Structures are given as C-alpha cells and as structure tokens.
Structure 1
Amino acid sequence: MVTQDKQVIAEYGNRQVNVFVMTLQEYLDTFWKMILPSITDLVYSITASLEARTRDKDYVGYLPSDVIEAGLKTGHYTQGFLNVNKSNASQEAFVRRRRQDRREDSESDILVHGMSSRNRAVHGDLVVVELLPRSQWRGRSNIIREGGTDTKESGEDDSGEAISVMPTGRIVAISQRAWREYVATFSQDEETGLKGGKVLVIPWDYRIPKIRISTRQVEALRDHRIVVRIDSWDSDSQYPNGHFVRALGRIGELETEVAAIIIENNIQMSTFSDAQMKELPVDTEEEPWAVGEEEVLRRRDLRNSHLVFSIDPKGCEDVDDTLSVRTLDNGNTELGVHIADVTHFVKPGTLTDQEGKSRSTTVYLADRRYDMLPGILSANLCSLISGVDRYAVSVIWELDSSYKPVHVWYGKTIIRSSYKLFYEIAQAMSDGMSTDDIVKNVPELQCQPKRDIKQKVTELRAAVCRLMEVARHLKARRVRGGALELESTEVQIQLTETKSVEDLTPKEHLEVHETIAECMIFANHWVAKKIAEAFPNSALLRHHPLPREDKFENLLTCASAKNYKVHTDSSKALAESLNRCDDPNDPVVNKLLRSLATMAMSNAAYFSTGALPRDQYFHYGLALDLYTHFTSPIRRYADIVVHRQLMAAVSKSTDTIDLPSNKDLEELSEHINHQHRASQNAQRDSQELFQYLFFKGRNPDDECCTVDAVIYQLRANGIFVLVPRYGMKGPVYLKNKEGQVAYVQARGQLEWTGGNITRTDHTMTVHTMFGIQSYILLDHITVKITLNNSWAHSSSVRLELVDNQPHLSTSADSLMKEQKAAIIKEVSEAAEEKKGHRSSVDLGENFEELKKEYGQSSTTNNMYDLFQSFKEMSLKC
C-alpha cells in the first residue's frame, strides 16, 4: 500500500482541479468504517495471510523514499531505532518512537514480531515502521528463554503467555544502517553452513543474525573468535552477506574475550598517536613540569590560604576533585570544590581534544581501564595529587548558618592538595580514630615534624567532620525536595587489596562516600545554573526524564506482596514511600525494592538547552531543576565542554568562538550519550565475564556456589531472583524444555516431574503428584551457581534451584568482601599462568616444530636472521 500527500493539483483539460489520492487503508477508514467496522481488520488479515505465504524464505522490498517521507509527515509511518530482545532474538524486537513521532495515543514502544516483520533490519538500525491493525497486535512473551533462543530454526512454538497486548508493526524501510564490526565464531559442526564456498558464522551477540562470508580459513580458525562485517542483505536471502576482517584469538582466553567485549560495544581504544603526544607538556626527571609564573598571576592562589584535600576510593589514580572547608571571620562557612583544569592542557580543535571527543569517556572494565586522555594528563599533570602545585577550576560558596549560599565564586585557581585520603580513613577520623592510628594511615602526616603532628591531625579531623556536617544539611534539603536514594546491586570489585583499616565494611564508610557525592552534586547544580543563564540556547546540561508509569509495575507488585504501598506520582512521593518499605527482619527487601525502582527509571542523558523546552531541563532522580557534569573532566568529555562554557560565562570577554552552537551541541550530546551507554555495557559485560571465569575454576560443591536468593519477578516458566551476596540477578527455571516442572523432594534433591504451574500476582504454585510447592515474591530460596557454557556467544553463570527455603548457612557470607576482591586477582593470575605456561612450552622444546608449522626454516636461512644480518651491517656502517 502506498501513501501519497492527501491533496495534489492536476490539470484536467484547460483547468486545474483538486485530486485526492488516498491509500486503501484511508479509503476503508473513511467510507466503510462506520458501515462495517470490521472491514479494515478483515482486509488486513487477508493481506497479511497472502504475504505470509510468499515470505517463507524471502523478504519484501523497501518502500520508496518519497513514499516514506510522505508517510512520516502524515503519521502513517513511525521512525525509530530497532532494539532486539536479546533473550528472544528471533521473535521480539522493539522500536522506540522518536520524540517528534510520538502521538497522544501512542506512548509505548512498537513490537516487531518475527523475522519477516523485521524485514532484514539489524539491531541498532534506524527503521521506518508501519503499525498493523489492532487485530494483529501481540504481547511480549512472558516465557523466560535461554539467551537468543531461535524459535524459528529450532521449531519451537512462540505461543507462550503474553504479558499484555501492545502496538505491533512491520518494518517497511531502513533510514540508516548501524552495521559495524561484529565478533563471530565458526560453527563447531564442520559441515554446517558450507555451501558454494560460503560459510555461516554465528555472531557473539544473540541479536545479530548469522552472517554468510567467504573464507578459506575455517579449519585454521575453527576455535577462534573472528571479526566480520556485513556488506549487504538481499531480499531473496535468509541471511546477510559479509566478509572476514581478522582473527581475535582462541575462544575462552581472557584477552580474546575482553577484546570481544570492546568490539561488541563499538569502543575504539587504540594507543594515543605520536602526533597527539607531541601536543602535551613534558614531565621527566631531566625536564620536570612546573607551573608558569604568568599563569599563576591569572589565577586565584589557594596554596597557602586553604586546606585542600581529596577523599577517594582505594586504588584511585586520577584524582580530579578536591575539597576545602573553613569558617570565615563573620561566622559563615566557606565550602570549596576544586576540579582539575583539564582545559588548560586540552585546547579546542587539537588532536588531543578530537581524540577525547571521540572516546567521550574513560572505560572501566573489571581488570583494566581505557583512558579518555593520555596518561601524562590523567595520572599526572591533571591529577590533583598531594604535595604538588596543580591548576584547578573552582566553585567556592559562602554558606550562612542554615547552609544556604549567600555568595558563590567561579574561577580558575592554583592549589596544592595537602592530603590524599581514602574513604575508610576519612570515616575513621570522623568516628574518633586515635591520632597515632591516623598518622599511620596518612603518609603526608608522617613527613611532618613531630611537634606539628598533633595540630595537623586536629586541623584535618576538624575539616573532615565539618565537611560531613555541611554535606548532611545539603543532602537533607535535596531529599526534602524529593531526591531518590536508589540501590545499585552491581558487584564493584576492588582492584587493590585493603592494606589498612581492614575491619571497616562498606556500610561503615558509606557516610563519607555520600559526603563527597553530595558536594559534587552541589557543584554540578550551581555550574548548571551559571551556564544555563549565560547560554540559554546552547548550554550542555544533563536531563533525567520522568519514568514511564508502566515501568513501575514490577516494583508495585513486589511491594504489595509485603503489603507496602509505593506511590509513583512524583519523585518525592516515591522516595518517601520507599523509606517506609522497611522490614526489620529482612534488610534485603528495601534494597531490592530500591533496585527495582532504579530499573524502572529512564536513562539520564546530556542535551543542549536549545533542544528541549525549559520545563524539561530537570533531573528527576536528584530532584533538581538544573544539573550538569562538571566534576570529572579527566574521564568525561562532557565536563570539558562544561568547563569551557563556565569560563566563558564568568569571563569579561565576549569571545565565545570556540563554544559549540545549539546544533553542534545536539550532535555532540547524542555522541556522548552513545559512548556513555557503550561504556556502561562494556563494564557490565566485563563483570559478567569475570564472574563466569571465577566460578569456572570452582568445584560445584564449593561453599561459595550455593547461595541465598530473593524472588523479585514471576514468569510463565520460572522466576527471577537477586543473589545479594554477589549482586547478581538472573532466572531460575521451574519448568524445563520438556514441560516438566521442578519439585524439591529435600534440600539439594530436585525432581523434574509431570505437573503444572499456576500463578497469581504474588505467588507461583507448582502442582505435581508429589505435592504442591509455592514461590512468593520477596521470599528467599536457595540456588546453586553453575556454568552456562557457550561456544559462539559469551559464556555466563546460571542459577539452578536447590531448595524452596532460604539458604541455611551464613558463614560464607562473611567472606563476601574477600571473595569479591579476589575474583579479579584469581582470574587474572590464572590467565597469566596459562599464558606463561603455553609460551614456555610453545617456545621451548617445541620451537623448532612451531617454526616448521608456520613455514620457517630450522636453519639460519630464514627472514628473521636475514633482517638481523641487515641490522648488524647497518650498525657497522
């Protein structure tokens, strides 16, 4: 069916007449809908049936661009990005309507069901969708599936219970392809896919279809991960065509799997070029870097007037924020936040600036990181380490007795941080740690004359305590305004072992962590106010939109299972009601509910003030009307842009030629948002990889493999649980692929037998010949962590039911902190040992055989020795 503009002018004889052109759908809706309401659905059903008969193997062509353009204008078609469901990749994909495409009655995503309706679109493509008639709308499947189960190829029926019917459509055009490099693997079956010199490779990402490539390296690279690209996808082909790019390494090796994560998240992290490094200052023993006298005169000098210090987690190398607090002569409090002045070294348009913009963020993986800026800046000249002079951009407030700002100053400063503190020691100071113990844990104090130590400790302790007091008042004011305190249950693995104050738990140093966070939020808010005032149409802010009400369904259902009432009509109501969801006998309940609230949130994003109406600038989660990112320019490019805008806002000069326009800032915001999401996804994938490798080396009967879990969602064939000990979420199946259901005969004795499952809002009940067992939301059960090995995709851990009762043993839980910290160390050491063992074997007694295998001569007549001879001759000359 073709859509044209509703009215055109045509010549008829010697005069012009109005000619109305409409599609079949418009004709039926206009003239037949009132007479025979079902006529539209009938025609569409017949059409879809006929199309389905001809689409068993082939896809249909895309509509012409002029037709698509006209349909988008009239609202007949919708444009958005395709998001394939990783857990049901062959059947379910969704298109999120773009803002300008959303209509009053269409605020939800559009479901695209089946590969035929997807019509050769690939995850991430910008597509054009035509809505199907309501009689063909479907619901999202409520069945828990193994990742990416291909029901089309396996012959499984997709008749599982649907959650609810939602708008459903089919793709009629591709506006923009998102094709990129994909990690893939050859099938383990030697004969599978070979046809006419072509071979099908299986992408690492379940959401990407198999790709047909031509290569003669199948046998050599059968056990390797490779990189491929898609070139085309013909309408008469079931799979896209592509080509081989390169090999990554053997499947299962740590470096191979990390490389796969980086490529799959489209993160480009090559080494910094020589040209970029030549732009940066030199800092060597022979030529140390020092502050410039002229630059000092242009800055406010805080080196002798302010006690500046940093508080960071252990192992932190890039210290980009420091703090100061003191009492003024008038009794008011002065609070200072001092941020590394990265923009002094990174000028707009330079190679370093372009590279930082391209990367947009430092990427943190479980065992490594990829810096946004070269190390000379991130770990040295821009790192506000103690005892050295550093350039900073500062925000300094004068606060009255109620801790309300009466004056604020923005500008460039020069500072010398006195102390580099860690969370544990700062909290211990506040809690009354003795002077001797403080000196033992603060290296900078050990260098002080003995006669001054007591005074220095007193000053530092007073500053830390005053800072925490200020932060408590700032946070209380923000919480009263509706700020949310949400839980993150991701496992944060420490990269360095705790060497002092070992007995402090994360809960005990939580207050000092919140103190630093609150000061940073305060600075970000006030900087946002300044740049939004100066550049009302081109300031870079951060927006956290209102969550969609339907996303709260799981939270509300879980809360009601414990008779809690959660109100979601505002952030303040949500925060207050979550505070009341407190079970003194089960502290995990409140943490889980806050985690579900986090899952319901929309994603925060950067935007240009000229791209949104003023009433949408707010940050929902923080309960602030204006917010931006200013405090981490070493690891976020957005902060660099904000620093430039802030300095332009406070400068007396009117020259803002280096600042981006609203249009440029819109494009930059979209790029930064994309890179930020990619970084988060890579971090999540990396943590899952290390969790898998950690448990891979464990005996299944190991104490740490059997753990307590809390039920937070019920599905048609199983439940979703949270494992508090590891911050791990995942499914637990109560029905297997054969249709049998799980019945616990005794602890650790699971029987798969005939029966059925019934479900209410809060309870899932298993009925078998042995009896009846129930699983209730927020109840505790016992699960075992096992391995879900995969040849082509990322391997992961799997949760299997052990008992429908809580885990009995709690002794292992005390080892949680040590085990978390040990995961990285154990996996990394094992990988290095394996690598070293292979190297010693391969390059030892078998070296001669290896040289033969790779075509090298065992005599001195080989290329290596030939080049060595040339090198020696050139040195002699």
Structure 2
Amino acid sequence: MSKKKNINPSVNQVLTQLVLDVFEQNGREALNYKQVAAKLNIREPESRETILEILKEEAKKDILQEISPGKFKVLELKTFVEGKVDMTSEGSAFIVTDDEFENDIFVAPRKLRNALNGDRVKVYVYAKSKGKRKEGEVIEIIKRAKMEFTGIVKLSERFAFFVPDDRKMLHDIFIPLGDLNGAKNGMKAVATITDWPPEAKNPIGRIKTVLGVQGENDTEMNAILADYGFPLSFPAEVERDSEEISDVITPEEIAKRRDFRDVLTITIDPYDAKDFDDAISYKKLENGNFEVGVHIADVAHYIIPDSELDKEAYDRGTSVYLVDRVIPMLPERLSNGLCSLRPHEDKLCFAAVFELDEAGHVLTEWFGKTVIHSDRRFTYEEVQEVIENSEGEYVEEIHQLNALAYKLREQKFKNGAISFESTEVKFKLDETGKPIGVFVKERKDAHKLVEDFMLLANRKVAEFVSKKGKGKKKYTFVYRAHDAPNPETLGNFAQFAARFGYKINMKSDREVARSLNHLMADVEGKKEQNVLTQLAIRSMAKAVYTTKSSSHYGLAFDHYTHFTSPIRRYPDVMVHRLLLHYLNGGESANAEHYEALCKHSSEKEKKAADAERASVKYKQAEYLKDHIGSIYSGVISGVTEWGMYVQITENNCEGMIRLRDIADDFYTWDEKNYAIIGQRKKKVYQLGDEIRIKVKNVDLTKKQIDFSLVQD
C-alpha cells in the first residue's frame, strides 16, 4: 500500500490537472494509474504513486469513479449535450445548447474535431471545469451547417487552395488540380468540401461553380446567394415540371369557383415588379356598404405536394430580393406567368372577401377559390398620384379603398399596434450594375392601402382557423407569431430614449405600444429618427412561423398568418393548402410535421434577409469606393469597444470610425451609456449624435467602410 508523499502543493495541483486532462482527452475510457502515467510519459515510481493518490482523491470528490480496483473513469454527470457551434475569430468555439438555462460550453481549437461554424454537434462536457465556464470537446458532428463556401482560388504549380470569404471559416480548402472545374488563379468560385481526414489540418474539396472575376457585379451578387445557401438556378427536372403544367383554365374549373371576372379588380405593385400575387376587387353594394376582395394567386392549385416543384419551393423557402435582382422561389413560368395576376387575363385565385361599412368594420367574410380578370395594373406611384390629385382611372374607387384602409389602420393602432416606419435604401444602378446613386425609399398612402387590406386578409384567415376544433384541441395551422419584447431589452431602450426626452410607459403591452407610437411620430424628420427606430426594432422579438396559436405583438392581433404572397413565400402555400382542407371539412393536420416545416421556413426567411442586407452593404461600399475623401454629415448608429458606427444622413450608408483612428485623446467604450469617452478631455460621442465624417477606406471583399472623424 502506497503512502501519500509530501510534495509541493502547486506541483501537485499541476499534476492533478494533467491527470484530469488525460481522462478528458480519452472520453469514457477507464484507466489505471500506470496507463495514466504512460500517457503522461512519467516513469519515476514516486510520481506514479502520486498519480494513484490523485486518482483516489478525485474519486472522493466525485470527479472520478473507481469502477473496479485500481481502474478509474470520469464520473458521468450531464456529460453529453447537443448544440450549435458558434466559432470565434481565434479558432475556439462556444457550443450554444438547446436548453436556454444551460450556459454555452467553451471548446478549445484542438478539441473541435473539424467542427465548423453553425454545425450541430454532440459535445462531451467535462465533469470538472477548469474555470467558471463549462468546457468540453466535440465527439460527433451530427449535421454540417454548410459544405459549400464562396471564396477565391489560389493556384500554384502542384496544388491549389481555396480561401473562403466567410470570416468564421478559418480553414483554407485544399483543391486537387483535377478538381478545379476550369477555375483560374484569383477567380471567385464556390467550393464543396468532399473529405476531411481526421489527421488533416485542412479539408479537401472541389470547385463546384466558377462565379467569375472578383469585383464584377454578377460575380459578387451570385457569391452572396451561394454564401447563404440559395441556388443560382433551378434543376432541369423542376423547370421541366413547370413547363408541363397546362395554362388552360377549363369551364369545369371555373364552375368550382366564385366568379369575379365582372367585378372591378386591380393590382398595385412596384414599377419593376414582374410577379403580381395579390389583387383587390371592389364593389359598392346596394345597402351602401362595400365588398372588398383580397384575391391571391392560387399557387397551390399548380404545385402538387411532394412533387419536384414542391420540394424545390420548400427547400428555397422564399424568394430572395437583392439590390439588382430577384431570385424567385418558383420558376419563371409560374412566378411571372401562370400564377402572376397580369392585367386582362383570367387568373385562378384563393380569396378572402369582406363586406365593410364606411367605418371599416367587417360585417361578413368569405374564404374560397375565385377566378378574376384584372382590369388594371397600377404602380404605387400611379395610385399615389390618383390619391393626391384626384385624377386618373378609377378615381372614386381608389379614394374609397384608401378611406377604408385609413379606418382599418386607425382600428389597428387603437388596439395597440406599433407603427414602425423603417427606411429602405434603394440604389440607382448603371447598365453594369454599378451604383451611381443612393436614396431612401418613402412609404406613402398607396403602399399602406395595399398593406392594410393584406393585413386584414391575413388576420381574418388566422382567426377563422383558430376557432376550429373542440375545447383545447385546436386545428393545426401555420401562424405568424411575434412575442412581446424582453422586458430587460425594452428597459434598456427606454433608458436610451429618455436621453432624447422620450418616455416609454412600460406598465402594460398596450401602454408600451402607445408610447412607441408617440415616439415614432415625434421623431419623424429629426436627426435621431433612424437610430431610435432601428434600436426600437432591435428591442422587439423576431417574428417566426409556428403552429402554436400565439399572438402578433407588433400588429396587436390575437391571431395572424401569411396568406397573401404564395408566389414568394412557402408558408403561404402551406396556409392555402390547410385552409382549403378545413373549408372542405378535413380533420386537423399533423402538428409535428407542420412545426418542422415552419422552423425550416423561419430559417430560410432569416437567410434571405441576411443575403439582402449583404447585397445592400456591398453596394453601399461599392458606391462609396468612388467617394473616398468625401465629407458627409452622419449620425452615430452604434458604439462598440473598438469603434463607433456612423450612418450618413443623406443616403443611409453605414461605416465605422475605429477608436485607434481618433487622434485627439484615448477613448474608451461606455457600454451602459451607448457612448465612447475621451479619458483626458472627457469628450463624449454618444449614440444618436450628429458628427462629420470623411470616407477613409473601402474593402469590397469584406463589405466594410471605414470613416475618419472630421474634428470641429
């Protein structure tokens, strides 16, 4: 029997940690003291005996378990968890678990086992953490987030490497010369990882698609799409399926539908739109009320569930709107042809038809299949001219629709909806796609008219289905849900708004909404408008698709769905199918199946929004590249420990002033007060402040704009 040796405590502590590291590195393997010593390359008998004492001490602490005489292994607590990899720029990662009460788990670079950012992984969590944070190692990659990356091809005589654009992809991809697919040195391309041997530092891949010359418009826009996982073209079988769909509307099909071809029907869309998925019919009734129909392209009529066309639409989830192009969810024959509600053509629709009085109250509602014949294709600008000048086609009808839309809007805000009028950046492009101007799009009554009737249809469809079912057993449906904001996040925003003299009453959801609406009205046209609007939006929860019948906080609707855009959103296709199923007396659909579809749709929606933002950032950077040295007025739109973001007032382009570039003092970040403060002169730059900036540098690859401060 060994005796415990008197050795230096600090040495003992180091050896204890080394011993525990051996167990951590060998997962669930049981080891005796000799095996541990061998793995540590320790041969001295005295040190080996010390290891045995350490093993017994750690067993007493319930960190190790003696499973048989002299054999030990890590005691199993909650040792295995699943989560998503959130990579850091240093090469380590945090594993974000599904359990909201579980802290993120730190994984050192050498323990990632080739896991990449966004991957879903299984992690072994060490029974004893080295510090306060939990640590672990990846033992299994359950699902790769992505296997394809955009980047630049680097060629040499004997091999090639691919340098990914993604800053969180920290490994270059080795490309065998036979797998270059025609790519030349310096070209932008899409690479697919094909193998990653356990002992290899870099993954092996092949060039899937050559995008073109770096910096060219088509190359960069296609790179953004590929980077967010959106295909650049439709598979041949999908195109073939769409071409085989008959464009004949038979008398038998019309007989199944409510015929609106003799009722005034119009579409109102952007001037450059090609897919018209909603139309509004209008008729004044003999009793003085108004019949307004919201007719939506009957996409589900043409797309058979589980067909190649349907699978492709589901995979894409949504159309993607970049600065200079639309990547449709459906092939052009459907999106711009069969399903598009073009003027002077019979079209099949799914409609929500309402009888409204002059006060905008809904007296009756009807949902079902229709056939329409659009009388006029309006642009928003044309309708706005009719509203403002009382001249043009269908003046009386458009004025009455606008008046009803105003009533619907009043009801919405009275019930607690929040009015967020966020600005939208638009670009004037030359024939090569280069931005030669930037402007902020203004939302007027014509836009709001269409929006209010679409909101009405979405709300009423959701309410109709939500009432189906007995007791607590409600029918499965696809809702658009929006939770109330986190009180702490909202409280932080309220504190910041108070600095500008705006008060947010947080006593109830209704009071919060009322306060925010007052704020939005008060800030209009002021220098702090965009900053406060953006911060208010960020303080809100994100809307998602779900089968859970929850409310929409921002709109103050108890039930809400997306029914009005099936050409560009897959959830709307699901809503059409479910609504028809229930109108025909069908039983409740499988909730688990539809919840999975909802989750996928929410993820695709986020990726599409990120791709759109990336294209805007790229074009802003491209525009300012020709304006290096130019001076602008701007508003501080964000502050961080490394600098402050500034948004140019005239065009909303955003860039950063790095703290190290402000020469008149040493500045530090005051996170609590959204400010940076000079340590000697106490000069304060705070979120919302107006300053003058000069365009210093532009990096198109990173979509980054650097400003320098123009001192008074």
TM-score (norm 1): 0.66
For residues 54 and 527 of structure 1, do their structure 2 counterparts lie closer, same or farther at Cα, with a shift above 3 Å needed?
A: same
Find the aligned partners of 1:215 and 1:233 in 2 and give their Cα distance.
Answer: 13
Q: Does 1:538 align with 2:495?
A: no
Which amino acid in 2 is paired with 1:742?
Answer: A
For residues 492 and 599 of structure 1, do their structure 2 counterparts lie closer, same or farther at Cα, with a shift above 3 Å needed?
A: farther
For residues 258 and 644 of structure 1, do their structure 2 counterparts lie closer, same or farther at Cα, with a shift above 3 Å needed?
A: same
Which amino acid in 2 is paired with 1:221?
Answer: K
For residues 256 and 672 of structure 1, do their structure 2 counterparts lie closer, same or farther at Cα, with a shift above 3 Å needed?
A: same
What is the correspondence of 1:58-77 to structure 2 with a 5 Å cutoff? 60=25
Secondary structure in 2 matching 1:742: coil
**Counterpart in the other structure of 1:181:** 148
Q: What is the CA distance between 1:397 and its match in structure 2? A: 1.3
Deviations 1:94-121 (CA, angstroms, capped at 9, x unpaired): 54442xx234xx5xx6264763575643
For residues 763 and 648 of structure 1, do their structure 2 counterparts lie closer, same or farther at Cα, with a shift above 3 Å needed?
A: closer
Q: What is the CA distance between 1:524 and its match in structure 2? A: 0.8
What is the correspondence of 1:118-197 to structure 2 with a 5 Å cutoff? 120-128=114-122, 130=125, 136-137=131-132, 169-173=135-139, 174-186=141-153
Find the aligned partners of 2:16 and 2:318 in 1 and give their Cα distance.
Answer: 46
**Counterpart in the other structure of 2:376:** 419
Match of 2:578 among 645, 657, 667: 645
Q: Does 1:336 align with 2:293?
A: yes
- Percent identical pairs in the alignment equals 27
Residues 91, 113 of structure 1: 8 Å contact kept: no
Match of 1:82 among 80, 85, 107: 85
Which amino acid in 2 is paired with 1:298?
Answer: K
Find the aligned partners of 2:507 and 2:430 in 1 and give their Cα distance.
Answer: 43
Secondary structure in 2 matching 1:337: strand
Find the aligned partners of 2:162 and 2:21 in 1 and give their Cα distance.
Answer: 28
**Counterpart in the other structure of 1:473:** 407
Secondary structure in 1 matching 2:611: helix
**Counterpart in the other structure of 2:599:** 670
Find the aligned partners of 1:91 and 1:532 in 2 and give their Cα distance.
Answer: 48
Deviations 1:80-103 (CA, angstroms, capped at 9, x unpaired): 32234xxx52267554442xx234
Residues 697, 707 of structure 2: 8 Å contact kept: no
Match of 1:520 among 454, 461, 471: 454
Deviations 1:650-670 (CA, angstroms, capped at 9, x unpaired): 225x4x7xx963232122222
Gaps of 5+ in 1: 1-41, 65-70, 138-166, 284-288, 439-456, 498-504, 744-753, 806-877
Deviations 1:205-259 (CA, angstroms, capped at 9, x unpaired): 001121352534899733123433345656666x442222344333223333223
For residues 757 and 102 of structure 1, do their structure 2 counterparts lie closer, same or farther at Cα, with a shift above 3 Å needed?
A: closer
Deviations 1:758-777 (CA, angstroms, capped at 9, x unpaired): 74725423246xx6633133
Find the aligned partners of 2:595 and 2:366 in 1 and give their Cα distance.
Answer: 29
For residues 300 and 774 of structure 1, do their structure 2 counterparts lie closer, same or farther at Cα, with a shift above 3 Å needed?
A: same
Q: What is the CA distance between 1:52 and its match in structure 2? A: 11
Residues 337, 523 of structure 1: 8 Å contact kept: yes
Match of 2:254 among 275, 288, 296: 296
Residues 342, 634 of structure 1: 8 Å contact kept: yes
* Count of matched residue positions in the alignment of Structure 1 and Structure 2: 640
Residues 272, 374 of structure 1: 8 Å contact kept: no
Q: What is the CA distance between 1:649 and its match in structure 2? A: 1.6
Residues 483, 623 of structure 1: 8 Å contact kept: yes
What is the correspondence of 1:547-626 to structure 2 with a 5 Å cutoff? 547-552=485-490, 555-567=493-505, 571-581=509-519, 587-608=526-547, 612=548, 614=549, 617-626=550-559
Secondary structure in 2 matching 1:136: coil
**Counterpart in the other structure of 1:687:** 616
Q: What is the CA distance between 1:329 and its match in structure 2? A: 2.2
What is the correspondence of 1:448-487 to structure 2 with a 5 Å cutoff? 457=393, 460-487=394-421
Which amino acid in 2 is paired with 1:784?
Answer: K
Residues 784, 802 of structure 1: 8 Å contact kept: yes
Find the aligned partners of 1:396 and 1:48 in 2 and give their Cα distance.
Answer: 75
**Counterpart in the other structure of 1:799:** 706
**Counterpart in the other structure of 2:47:** none
**Counterpart in the other structure of 2:325:** 368
Deviations 1:33-92 (CA, angstroms, capped at 9, x unpaired): xxxxxxxxx99x97996499999xxx956679xxxxxx9x986654332234xxx52267
Q: What is the CA distance between 1:731 and its match in structure 2? A: 2.7
Q: What is the CA distance between 1:643 and its match in structure 2? A: 0.9
Deviations 1:363-398 (CA, angstroms, capped at 9, x unpaired): 222212222222222112211122221111111112
Residues 96, 110 of structure 1: 8 Å contact kept: yes
Gaps of 5+ in 2: 1-9, 30-73, 432-438
Match of 1:629 among 562, 573, 577: 562
Find the aligned partners of 1:474 and 1:600 in 2 and give their Cα distance.
Answer: 26
For residues 91 and 786 of structure 1, do their structure 2 counterparts lie closer, same or farther at Cα, with a shift above 3 Å needed?
A: same
Deviations 1:164-208 (CA, angstroms, capped at 9, x unpaired): xxx6654444433324112233569x7xxx9xx776643210011
Find the aligned partners of 1:674 and 1:362 in 2 and give their Cα distance.
Answer: 13
Deviations 1:507-543 (CA, angstroms, capped at 9, x unpaired): 8751221121111111111111233344734212222
Q: Does 1:742 align with 2:663?
A: yes
Deviations 1:449-488 (CA, angstroms, capped at 9, x unpaired): xxxxxxxx4xx11221221222222222222222222243
**Counterpart in the other structure of 1:68:** none
TM-score (norm 2): 0.79
Q: Does 1:215 align with 2:176?
A: yes
Residues 619, 625 of structure 1: 8 Å contact kept: yes
Secondary structure in 2 matching 1:735: helix
**Counterpart in the other structure of 1:350:** 307
Residues 387, 417 of structure 1: 8 Å contact kept: yes
Which amino acid in 1 is paired with 2:376?
Answer: Y
For residues 763 and 208 of structure 1, do their structure 2 counterparts lie closer, same or farther at Cα, with a shift above 3 Å needed?
A: closer
